[in-house]
Structure 1
Amino acid sequence: MNEYTIHGGLKGINRLEVLSRTVGPSTNAFLNANQDALLGSCLDLGCGLGTVSLNIAQRVQGRGEVLGLDKEALNVAYATDMAAAQQIENVSFVCKDVFEFNEISSCNLVYARFLCSHMNNPEKLLRHVFRNIAPGGRVLIEDTDFSGHFCYPACAGFESYVQLYQRLLHQRGADANIGQRLPQLLKEAGFQDITVQIAQPVHAKGEGKLMAELTMAGISKALIQEQITTQEEIDRILFSLKKFRENVDSLISLPRIIQVSASKPKQ
């Protein structure tokens, strides 16, 4: 897996907190639609702050356990503290790269949100999961189609941000629009019973309107490292995004989110 493009650390945690609250309802609906798959041993790959791991753990309490994996130690510590604070005992978290974990064979469910779009070989991950997940096991994956990100009315700073994000991931060998390809990638990995749906939160007010700013700030270091743009241009875009967010008549969406469910054959 290549380096995660959006910054980590405490600023990264703040962004992930806002993101988790913003996409929480659509993820919850996705889990509701696949409630029958939530049993036994569940694995959350690239779990971030563990909010989905905790959600699943509450759903399978008394009949299953959840393990969250993330390679950012601060995220794992945060998630562990949250589990303790909420007294959820059937969940644990491990600081590991997803390819370093080979104990998927005991899992009935593998979940991942906004992970594949940051990988330069997501096909390898999906094949790894297919080989190792239990027969009949289900995968639930959510990821972005960044080309569907929109605002109203038009905002030049927003358009620049959307283009720069896609260019950055492409330059690093990843794909901000991988959501469109997920069904085919899962099919090629060997999965069947593939279903697809779309979620796209849109905000006229509230912290959801912050996500474009927070993400632009989060990729600024990587943009400069890759010599894609300058700090001056980044500052101009951030100022434009802030002014646009403060416009009470503006709408800002999240990227289009593709939600895909698929199963490994039972035999």
Structure 2
Amino acid sequence: MAQGPVESSAPSFHVDRIDAGRIDQLVGILDVQAELPGIRRMRRWAHEALAVRAGERALDIGAGTGSEVMVFAERVGEGGAAVGLDPNPMMLAIALRRAEAAGSAARLVHGSVYHLPFPDASFDAVRCERVYQHLDDPAAATAEIARVLRPGGRVLLIDSDWYTAITHPGDPEVVAALGAAMLAETPNPASGRRLRGLLAAGGFAIDDQGSEAVIWDPVTARPLFEQMNEQAVRQGTITREEYDRLIAELDAGIERGDFHFSVTMFAVLAHKL
């Protein structure tokens, strides 16, 4: 989950700044996204690549609703430890309730990726999904991950590259303006393509890479466009007329089955030298 100074009036993934009145909306967005086939495929590949084993200690940074740290808990078993870290106490409470309801042994901890609350060489494996795009200093975060990993420990970073986003239908100029407004609000929008370089510079050896063009279905994408468009109108990036026309074009496309929205996610597996 996100950390950094950018704050928006629309729901965002800067969950350390999301208030109680909006946390349920964010959780709803995360739950719907988790069901997208592309997200499911990427997460399945990531767990297979990271290959957390029984008895190991595994950390999930940006644990969100807790779904992936619960996968870790199943893999490490009673002899290991699965820890999920998130900067928002309200999100942690939700993840904890879900873990308890599932009978999971996952442990949830409050903290920042910039200052991980763990001793050096604490973990065998670290997973971090869709956090780096919101970081102002991803190199510092990578150094913290290296610090808490034991020598030879594995890390799996996953993130979107928002410059790969494709939207259809819609006036290309309005879509481009909308995309530019969103990119301006994201500290690290090209994070997906930067993961390998950050890990290499941070003292890791690269072992594998993966990617997935995540295609959003209309039910998932439509609310996102409304939020982005409303924000762009308030900022003066597009006019109200352009907003209304784009929404009408998207709705017409959805009605006739002619709709597409996707963004590519990248994953990099590495180990600490």
TM class by shorter chain equals 0.7 to 0.9
Contact 1:147 1:177 in 2 (8 A): yes
- Identify the residue that residue 12 of structure 1 maps to in structure 2: 26
Distance 1:124 1:216, change over 3 A: farther
- Identify the residue that residue 259 of structure 1 maps to in structure 2: 267
Residue in structure 1 matching 2:208, options 192, 195, 200: 195
Q: Distance in 1 between matches of 2:35 and 2:173?
A: 24
How far 1:221 sits from its partner (Å)?
Answer: 7.2
Q: Alpha-carbon deviations, 1:203-249, whole Å to 9, x = none?
A: 6xxxx33333333345567657766456665565445444433432x
Q: Could you say which structure has the higher strand fraction? A: 2
Distance 1:213 1:173, change over 3 A: closer
Unaligned runs of 5+ in 2: 13-17
Q: How many residues align?
A: 256
- Identify the residue that residue 71 of structure 1 maps to in structure 2: 87
Distance 1:72 1:254, change over 3 A: farther
Residue in structure 1 matching 2:107, options 88, 92, 99: 92
Distance 1:79 1:18, change over 3 A: same
The amino acid that maps onto 2:32 is: V
- Identify the residue that residue 70 of structure 2 maps to in structure 1: 54
Contact 1:113 1:143 in 2 (8 A): yes
- Aligned CA-pair RMSD: 2.9
Q: Could you say which structure has the higher helix fraction? A: 1
How far 1:128 sits from its partner (Å)?
Answer: 1.7
TM-score by length of 1: 0.82
Q: Distance in 2 between matches of 1:26 and 1:159?
A: 31
How far 1:78 sits from its partner (Å)?
Answer: 1.4
Aligned residue runs from structure 1 range 1-267, under 5 A: 1-2=3-4, 3=6, 6-7=11-12, 8=18, 9-22=23-36, 23-35=39-51, 40-89=56-105, 91-103=106-118, 105=120, 106-151=122-167, 154-156=168-170, 160=174, 164-165=178-179, 167-169=181-183, 171-172=184-185, 174-202=187-215, 208-219=217-228, 223=232, 228-229=237-238, 237-248=246-257, 250-265=258-273
How far 1:138 sits from its partner (Å)?
Answer: 0.8
How far 1:99 sits from its partner (Å)?
Answer: 2.3
| Identity across the alignment (%) | 21
